[in-house]
Structure formats: structure tokens, C-alpha cells
């Protein structure tokens, strides 16, 4: 049995700070504390940008260690270590833990084994994705769900299902360091002195690293072979693990992956990300608009001319139809998903777009002319911003990114089902307030953009 540590080690003032940091809608900026991740002492040694991005629940993440394009290329060529410790972690424990988790998700968890990880989209009553994340089974009566806002959503479903479980936010108790890339297994074995090649994708086990209990999971969202480290933070050695990975990884070309480069990998591997590619279907439309104020300027929010409901998506629309099991019995949102399936599926599906390099070059050239120009795109991408771009032939482009590996601008897109790989479309760029509008040509492609290696059998 794999049991999580409690939060008893946390000082009361730190617990209070952590809770305050999550109250974005209630407390002013100056009233909310911000703090470095458990790796911050080691990251400060190499964060060349000296910029720390606030990403969630008070956590500050190093922005750029070397150069973002070198960090992105290392993910595909050698290995990287990135910090996702800010990601919320909710412990689910009790006699009804299995029943709650199976009710919460579209996936059938009845056969999930201890030591197994399952990707678990959860939907609202209308069948739209409210939250999605990973569920680790720690014991027969204990799970760990990792995703922002997981605690509140599971509290809601606990009440709806009438289950008796204990829910606890254990976010600050554990790191989440992601070691990813073709040489990641070599780095892990050099760190631990043991072989990890028998571990299958989406499995985890405990290990003692630097004298500290650590959950090592073969997991990741980059498409590459990779591992995640959930090290207990109560020993105060979490920053030493980061430093040790950096030192051991030098022999294998490892680079640290900053926030600026992190989400390039999401787009390259075709994984939709909340806020960037769809909105979370939780709460009222008014509540969503309030939430969007954290991810776009008041000027941009006032200028949107689309229905917020356009950005609420079913799992099938986001490429996750394979997770839906309508035959497993009752689960939250089942009736709506059944109606969608009977109707032939959603009207749109997730595809990729390769943007015209000539049109992108013209967009940049327009910035140097003495005339109004559409806004210049941020490189490598627009960070965590609400930016849904109309595809004139039907649909929405999102999550645009410049890929140093592919040497082109790419994006995800939820396109009308009539559009097929090879079709040409136009993406509307700009148009907020009094901005000029550009039309960027793009080619529809199947996802992912890069070859998927993450589930590769390493034992051969």
C-alpha cells in the first residue's frame, strides 16, 4: 500500500499562506502571498532570466533558464527537467473512494490497479469537460487526483453522489518534477543506480531518493518517454533533488525547462490544455467571465464577440473519445454524452494546423512599416492567455506555438468535421478593439505533430 504523507509537518502560517494564495476572486493581489516551488533554491542558481512566473496557488516558476528554443529542442533530442509542482493534488480516501472516483470520470476505473495511473476527464451535466487530470491509485481506499481546482470539483461530486470520503488538498506536500525526453531513462538510472526499463507507461512505484520517500511515475504530456517525481517536501530536500538531476543529467545533455518553453510540447504532441484550448465547464457563464479576467485584459474581454459556450467542449471534441465508457454504469454527465454519441458525435473534432510561414513572415514585416498593423505574435506562444482564433472555414484555432523542432508555427484547432487533413483554411489574427485583422493561411493536419514515444516498451 502506498500512503501519502499528511500535512502535519506544515507550519500553521504556511498553511494559511497557501490557502490565501488560492483566493484569487476574494483577495487583492497584495493580500495574496507568493512563494517559490520546493525547487526554488536550486532553480535560482540557473534561472538566467531572473523572471518568476506565477502559475497557480501562489507558486512561482522559473521562466527561462538558458534560451527557450534550446530548452524546447532538448526535450526532443536529449532530456529536460520541468517543474509542475504548482499543479493541485487532491487526496481521496475512505470506504467510498473507488465509488466516487468512478462516478466522477467518464473513464471506467473499476479495474484500476494499485500503482496504476489513469487519465480521467470529468464532465458537467451537459457533458462538457469540467476538469481533467491524472488519477493515481495508492491503495484500495486511497487515490491521488492531480489537476488545478480538483478539490472543489470533487467536493461537489461527493455531495452529488452521497459518497463518504475524505478529501484533502496535499499540493504543498509533494513536488511534481517532470523528467522528459529520449535520454530521460538514462538520467533516472544514473540518479538512482537501478534499472527502470521494466516500468510500463502510466505506472508508478515508490523509491528512496536522497533519503526521502518519492513516488516515481512513468508519465508525461510531452509525447516523449518520461518520468515524474512526487517527492515529499517535509524533509526539506526537494531542491536537492532538482540540483542532483541537473548535475547527473549533464552527461546526457539535459537542460532545465522553463515556463516560457513548457507549453510548446503540449501543442507539438496534440494535447488540449485548459484555458489555452478550451474553457472549464464549471459554474455559470457569469462565473466563467469572472474567471477569464485572470487570463485576458479587460479590453480584450469587452471585445469578444463569441458565445462563451463555444469554448466548452465534450471529451470527444478534444480527442478524448477513447476515454468514454457509456457501459460502465452511472457517472456524472453520462446522459449528455450518450445523447452526443447517438447524434453521431460532436460537430467538431481536434486537429492540427500548420500555419503559412510566408504569412507569418508578412505579419512580422508589417510591424516595421509606417502603417497600422495587426498585433505581433508572442514567441514561442501567448503563454496562459484566453486566445481563441476564428477559423473562417468553421471552428477555432488555439494554443498556437512556434516549434523550434519543426521550424514552423503550429496550433491546435477544433474544426468542423467536414474539414480533412490537407485542406487549406484561414485563421483570423487580431481584431481586438481597433486592431487591424490579418488572415493567416494554414493547412489542416492530423495530430500529433511529432511521433509519440511516451508508451514505448523500454524492456526490449
Q: Contact, 241 vs 177, CB < 8 A?
A: yes
Contacts of 346 (CB under 8 A, 6+ apart): 313, 314, 316, 317, 340
Query: What span, in angstroms and rounded, lies between the C-alpha atoms of 119 and 133?
Result: 6
Neighbours of 50 (CB within 10 A): 9
Among the listed residues 313, 332, 336, 457, the one whose alpha carbon sits nearest the alpha carbon of residue 398: 313
For 132-171, b/e burial (b = at least 16 CB within 10 A) is bbbbbbbeebbbbbbbbbbbbbbeebbeebebebebebbb
Q: Contact, 312 vs 359, CB < 8 A?
A: no
Instruction: Note the pTM of the prediction, 2 decimals.
Output: 0.93
Q: Contact, 440 vs 359, CB < 8 A?
A: yes
Among the listed residues 451, 447, 395, 389, the one whose alpha carbon sits nearest the alpha carbon of residue 421: 447
Q: What is the pLDDT of residue 87?
A: 92
Q: Contact, 278 vs 272, CB < 8 A?
A: yes
Which residue, chain included where needed, has cell 497557480?
56
Query: What span, in angstroms and rounded, lies between the C-alpha atoms of 258 and 292?
Result: 24
> Which domains does the chain possess?
34-85+174-269 (3.30.1360.120), 347-449 (2.40.30.110)
Query: N- to C-terminal Cα distance for the chain?
Result: 29
Query: What span, in angstroms and rounded, lies between the C-alpha atoms of 20 and 57?
Result: 8
Among the listed residues 330, 292, 328, 333, the one whose alpha carbon sits nearest the alpha carbon of residue 316: 333
Q: Would residue 422 be called left, alpha or beta, if left means φ above 0 and alpha means ψ between -120 and 50 degrees?
A: left
User: How do the pLDDT tens digits run along the chain, 460 residues long?
Assistant: 444 444 333 434 556 677 777 776 677 666 777 788 889 999 999 999 999 988 876 888 999 999 999 999 999 999 999 999 999 999 999 999 999 999 999 999 999 999 999 999 999 999 999 999 999 999 999 999 999 889 999 999 999 999 999 999 999 899 999 999 999 999 999 999 999 999 999 999 999 999 999 999 999 999 999 999 999 988 889 999 999 999 999 999 999 999 999 999 999 999 999 999 999 999 888 888 888 888 888 888 888 888 999 999 999 999 999 999 999 999 999 999 999 999 999 999 999 999 999 999 999 999 999 999 999 999 998 777 889 999 999 999 999 999 999 999 999 999 999 999 999 999 999 877 788 999 999 999 999 999 999 999 999 7
For the chain, what's the residue count? 460
Q: What is the pLDDT of residue 22?
A: 75
Contacts of 378 (CB under 8 A, 6+ apart): none
The β-bridge relationship of strands 59-62 and 35-36 is parallel
The β-bridge relationship of strands 226-231 and 254-257 is unpaired
Q: What is the pLDDT of residue 23?
A: 74
Q: At what angle do helices 97-104 and 150-161 cross, to 10 degrees?
A: 100
Among the listed residues 88, 90, 82, 85, the one whose alpha carbon sits nearest the alpha carbon of residue 22: 88
Q: Contact, 132 vs 163, CB < 8 A?
A: no
Whole-angstrom CA distances from 406 to 439, 450, 451, 452 are: 22, 9, 12, 15
Amino acid at each position: 500500500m502506498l500512503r501519502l504523507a499528511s500535512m502535519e509537518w506544515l507550519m500553521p502560517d504556511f498553511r494559511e499562506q497557501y490557502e490565501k494564495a488560492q483566493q484569487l476572486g476574494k483577495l487583492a493581489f497584495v493580500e495574496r502571498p507568493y512563494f517559490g516551488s520546493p525547487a526554488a533554491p536550486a532553480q535560482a542558481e540557473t534561472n538566467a532570466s531572473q523572471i518568476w512566473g506565477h502559475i497557480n496557488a501562489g507558486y512561482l516558476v522559473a521562466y527561462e533558464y538558458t534560451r527557450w528554443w534550446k530548452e524546447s529542442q532538448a526535450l526532443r533530442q536529449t532530456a529536460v527537467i520541468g517543474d509542475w509542482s504548482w499543479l493541485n493534488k487532491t487526496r481521496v480516501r475512505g470506504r467510498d473512494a473507488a465509488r466516487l472516483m468512478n462516478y466522477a470520470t467518464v473513464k471506467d476505473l473499476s479495474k484500476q490497479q494499485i500503482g496504476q495511473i489513469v487519465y480521467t476527464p470529468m464532465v458537467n451535466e451537459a457533458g462538457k469537460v469540467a476538469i481533467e487530470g491524472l488519477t493515481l491509485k495508492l491503495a484500495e481506499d486511497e487515490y491521488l487526483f492531480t489537476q488545478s481546482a480538483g478539490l472543489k470539483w470533487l467536493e461537489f461530486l461527493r455531495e452529488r453522489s452521497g459518497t463518504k470520503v475524505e478529501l484533502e488538498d496535499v499540493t504543498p506536500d509533494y513536488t511534481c518534477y517532470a523528467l522528459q525526453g529520449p535520454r530521460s531513462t538514462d538520467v533516472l538510472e544514473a540518479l538512482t543506480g537501478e534499472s527502470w526499463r521494466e516500468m510500463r507507461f502510466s505506472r508508478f512505484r515508490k523509491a528512496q531518493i536522497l533519503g526521502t520517500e518519492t513516488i516515481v511515475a512513468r508519465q508525461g504530456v510531452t509525447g516523449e518517454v518520461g518520468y515524474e517525481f512526487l517527492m515529499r517536501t517535509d524533509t526539506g530536500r526537494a531542491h536537492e533533488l532538482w540540483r542532483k538531476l541537473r548535475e547527473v543529467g549533464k552527461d546526457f545533455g539535459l537542460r532545465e525547462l522553463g515556463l516560457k518553453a513548457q507549453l510548446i510540447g503540449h501543442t507539438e504532441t496534440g494535447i488540449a490544455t485548459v484555458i489555452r484550448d478550451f474553457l472549464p465547464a464549471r459554474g455559470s457563464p457569469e462565473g466563467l467571465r469572472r474567471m477569464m479576467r485572470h487570463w485576458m485584459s479587460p479590453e480584450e474581454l469587452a471585445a469578444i464577440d463569441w458565445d462563451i459556450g463555444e469554448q466548452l467542449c465534450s471529451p470527444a471534441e478534444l480527442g478524448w473519445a477513447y476515454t468514454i465508457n457509456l457501459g460502465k454504469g452511472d457517472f456524472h454527465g453520462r446522459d449528455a454524452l450518450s445523447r452526443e454519441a447517438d447524434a453521431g458525435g460532436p460537430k467538431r473534432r481536434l486537429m492540427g494546423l500548420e500555419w503559412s510561414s510566408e504569412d507569418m513572415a508578412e505579419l512580422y514585416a508589417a510591424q516595421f512599416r509606417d502603417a497600422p498593423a495587426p498585433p505581433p505574435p508572442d514567441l514561442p506562444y501567448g503563454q496562459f492567455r484566453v486566445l481563441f482564433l476564428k477559423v473562417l472555414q468553421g471552428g477555432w484555432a488555439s494554443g498556437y506555438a512556434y516549434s523550434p523542432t519543426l521550424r514552423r508555427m503550429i496550433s491546435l484547432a477544433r474544426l468542423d468535421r467536414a474539414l480533412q487533413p490537407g485542406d487549406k483554411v484561414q485563421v483570423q489574427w487580431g481584431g481586438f478593439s481597433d486592431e487591424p485583422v490579418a488572415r493567416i493561411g494554414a493547412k489542416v493536419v492530423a495530430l500529433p505533430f511529432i511521433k509519440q514515444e511516451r508508451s514505448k516498451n523500454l524492456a526490449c
